[in-house]
Amino acid sequence: MSMLSAQTPAPAVALGVNTGDTAWMIVATAFVLLMTIPGLALFYGGLVRRKNVLNVFMQCFILVAVISIEWVVCGYSLSFGSSKGILSPFIGGFDWAFLNNIKISDLSPYFISHSQIGLDGKATGTIPHIVFIMYQCMFAVITPALIIGAFAERINFKGFFVFSILWSLFIYNPVAHWVWASDGWLLKLGALDFAGGTVVHINAGVAAIVTAIMLGRRRDYKDHAIPPHNITYVVMGAGLLWVGWFGFNAGSGLAADGLAGNALMVTHICAATAAITWVLLDWFIDKKPTVVGISTGAVAGLVAITPAAGFVGIPGALAIGVLVSLVCFCMVAYVKPKLGYDDSLDAFGVHGIGGILGAILTGVFASPLVQSAYSGAIYGNFKQLLIQVVAVLVTIVFSGIGTFILFKITDKLIGLRVPDKQEARGLDETQHGETAYNNFD
């Protein structure tokens, strides 16, 4: 979510909550929660085999619970708070730990377009601070949940639980601070990430490929996709993700205004374009349009437009939608089988690659017609494209190395790979003592 003010603030006024902005942001927060449960749970749960569907549901559900607690205890403060000295551009402090010193009457210190200048001369947002905190909590929740798609069907639940908490603390929070906090070094460099291309999708996507490789392939993986057990779940999950993404992207303007409207529009058009492109590829190459294909294409489009939603218009959305499906389709259909890694549900192939492409293309298609302060390479601003590439590379390196270290630590202390017998029997029974489908006489 871009934290840059998009226009010159209004003259000094008495500060107060804008009820329209606040109502919209509460709804947007609920939409983003909908993306994790039940959206992502259904999407990923449908793609695994029936013996592992509850394990995926449980992973999504417990992340909503535990990362929400981590967020209010220290995550928000580390991500959006301030620290002292040389650490300031890289990580926040603990001034807001347990949401200390934050009152329900406080306005958000972050804003984009509906900023005000108070009587004290300071700029602020138009929604309560606690609403902003809750909105950002949903981003912190869904990011580690995306990684689930890479190690599905073979991870120890206890190890997953500990690894996810550590990853949120030491990987998600710093990257969120770099890109979105007012003193973050990538924000000051000029990196554009409207709703989470780097912070969410590249960050999680890189962690996904690292964990997939380090865990090793599923015992019966044969260089091709294992058929999903419930395609109905997949399409329902994709539909809920599409709806929830309106809160994800349009909400990142932090106001009910034209910028939110533009983000809403380009999000929808990019997803629709990517879905059609993937179906045409399916149709041309495999001779049949598939439901899994159109669902995956839509999600790829939603991923790629995320960093660009507040900066590009319809031409950019159309171009990004076509390009992301072409690239992600090749990653899923050709590159993954060729290299032989088992990214179970294509978390890297869709979220990682889609996020990388979207972040870079933001530097190409950013239009001053959307926000006059920003432009991309097609408008002659090649510097913005270079900055986007730097932000992408830094996120890849940090997430990759950090995930590797945290994986090693967790694996050494607890263990991350389930034994072969448990994997064969299924994680629903061996990790949770339950089965999703019971047959009664």
Residue 2: inside a domain, yes or no? no
Residue at 3 is within a domain? no
Question: What is the SS3 assignment for 15-62?
Answer: CCCCHHHHHHHHHHHHHHHHHHHHHHHHHHHHHCCHHHHHHHHHHHHH
State the pLDDT at residue 116: 52
In tens, the pLDDT along 138-169 reads: 999 999 999 999 999 999 999 999 999 999 99
Is the residue at 180 inside a domain? yes
Q: Got the DSSP string for 388-403?
A: HHHHHHHHHHHHHHHH
Query: Phi first, then psi: what are they for 368, rounded to 5°?
Result: -65, -10
CATH number of the domain bearing residue 48: 1.10.3430.10
Is 8 domain-assigned?
A: no
65 CB burial (10 A radius; 0-12, 13-18, 19+):
exposed
pLDDT of residue 308: 98
Question: What is the model's pLDDT at position 274?
Answer: 98
Domain that holds residue 393: 19-426
pTM: 0.94
- pLDDT of 9 reads 46
Q: What is the pLDDT at residue 16?
A: 81
Return d(Cα 327, Cα 270) in angstroms, integer: 15
Span 285-297, pLDDT tens digits: 999 999 999 999 9
Question: Does the residue 38 lie in any domain?
Answer: yes
Task: Record the tokens describing residue 425, joined without a space.
Answer: 């029997």
**Distance of alpha carbon 295 from alpha carbon 283, whole angstroms:** 14
Ranges of residues in the chain with a pLDDT under 50 are 4-13, 114-115, 117-119, 121, 441
pLDDT on residue 6: 37
Beta bridge pairs of residue 107: 128
Q: What integer pLDDT is reported at residue 167 of this predicted model? A: 98
Look at residue 389 and tell me if it is in a domain. Answer: yes
Let me know if residue 292 belongs to a domain.
yes
User: Are 350 and 303 contacting, i.e. CB atoms less than 8 angstroms apart?
Assistant: yes
**Residue 276 falls within a domain, yes or no?**
yes
User: How many domains would you assign to the chain?
Assistant: 1
Q: Residues 193, 199, 205, CA angle at the centre, nearest 5°? A: 120
**Residue 440 confidence (pLDDT):** 57
